[in-house]
């Protein structure tokens, strides 16, 4: 293999394995703010009553590169042992999600802090962008601190957890994409050098 073709092979191998990410990630910055609606009594399935309330979550658009339509796809996840049920979540304004909570009053008898996740899907679709590989997904931790006597709530975001889709179908995820190809390139380079050494006649004294 000539040096020229070896260089072409290396360039194609490295270029073909790059897992480019041209789509922006969500940037939900603190400080976040939240408002807490009055408790409402609603009939329960099978008789009796339960309570329902709404927490309206706001965040700044100063660094967030994604449109509001993207956050209409958010899904809240509350730990199963929290005792609080999220009945719905809706985008109700610019950078504003309204989260409906059932039986929050029962939860607040023993705790004032509720932690949940906002799960967000791949950016392609809501945003005109593209990236290599499978769909990405995001989970944004949200902490709500309630003050029942004052009927107020504060909110804060944690660091986003990101899951990157695989860069190759059935292949490794981002961060591992170049390892197999790098090993292949090193092997080809070593083989090419060895072949050149085989063809080079020994020098005469």
pLDDT tens digits along 73-99: 999 888 766 677 788 899 999 999 999
85-93 and 75-77 strand pairing: unpaired
Query: How far is Cα 76 from Cα 32, in angstroms, rounded to an integer?
Result: 16
Whether the link from the prior residue into 114 is cis, omega within 30° of 0, is: no
Task: List the Cα angle 25/28/30 in 5-degree steps.
Answer: 150
Binned at pLDDT 50, 70 and 90, residue 71 comes out as: very high
pLDDT band at residue 33 using 50, 70 and 90 as cut-offs:
very high
Instruction: State how far the alpha carbon of 7 is from the alpha carbons of 2, 178, 181, in Å.
Output: 9, 17, 14
Give the residue with greater pLDDT, 11 vs 91: 91
Judge whether residue 10 has pLDDT over 90: no
Q: Which two tokens stand for residue 53?
A: 């309330």
**Residue 86, pLDDT score:** 85
Percentage of the chain surpassing pLDDT 70? Answer: 69
Given pLDDT bands bounded at 50, 70 and 90, which one contains residue 195? Answer: very low
**161: its two tokens:** 């957890």
How far is the C-alpha of 43 from the C-alpha of 61, rounded, in Å? 38
pLDDT exceeds cutoff 50 at 113: yes
Kindly tell me if the per-residue pLDDT of 179 is higher than 90.
no
pLDDT digits (tens, 9 = 90+) for 45-54: 777 788 899 9
pLDDT of residue 154 exceeding 90, the answer is yes
101 or 126, greater pLDDT: 101
CA torsion through residues 195, 198, 204, 205, sign: positive
The rounded mean pLDDT for the chain is 76
Q: Residue written as tokens 């400080």?
A: 31
Domain coordinates of the chain in residue numbers? 3-17+170-192, 33-163
């Amino acid at each position: 293999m000539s040096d020229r073709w070896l260089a072409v092979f290396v360039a194609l191998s490295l270029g073909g394995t790059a897992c480019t990410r041209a789509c922006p990630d969500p940037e939900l910055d603190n400080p976040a703010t939240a408002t807490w609606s009055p408790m409402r009594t609603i009939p329960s399935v099978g008789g009796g009553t339960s309570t329902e309330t709404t927490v309206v979550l706001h965040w700044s658009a100063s660094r967030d590169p994604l449109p509001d339509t993207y956050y209409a796809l958010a899904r809240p996840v509350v730990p199963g042992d929290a005792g609080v049920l999220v009945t719905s979540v809706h985008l109700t304004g610019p950078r504003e999600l309204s989260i409906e909570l059932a039986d929050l009053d029962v939860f607040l008898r023993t705790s004032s802090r509720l932690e949940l996740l906002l799960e967000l899907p791949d950016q392609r679709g809501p945003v005109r962008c593209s990236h290599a590989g499978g769909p990405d997904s995001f989970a944004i931790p949200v902490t709500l601190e309630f003050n029942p006597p004052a009927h107020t709530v504060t909110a804060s975001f944690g660091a986003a957890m990101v899951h990157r889709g695989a860069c190759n179908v059935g292949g490794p995820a981002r961060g591992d994409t170049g390892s197999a190809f790098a090993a292949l390139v090193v092997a080809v380079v070593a083989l090419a050098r060895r072949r050149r050494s085989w063809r080079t006649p020994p020098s005469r004294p």
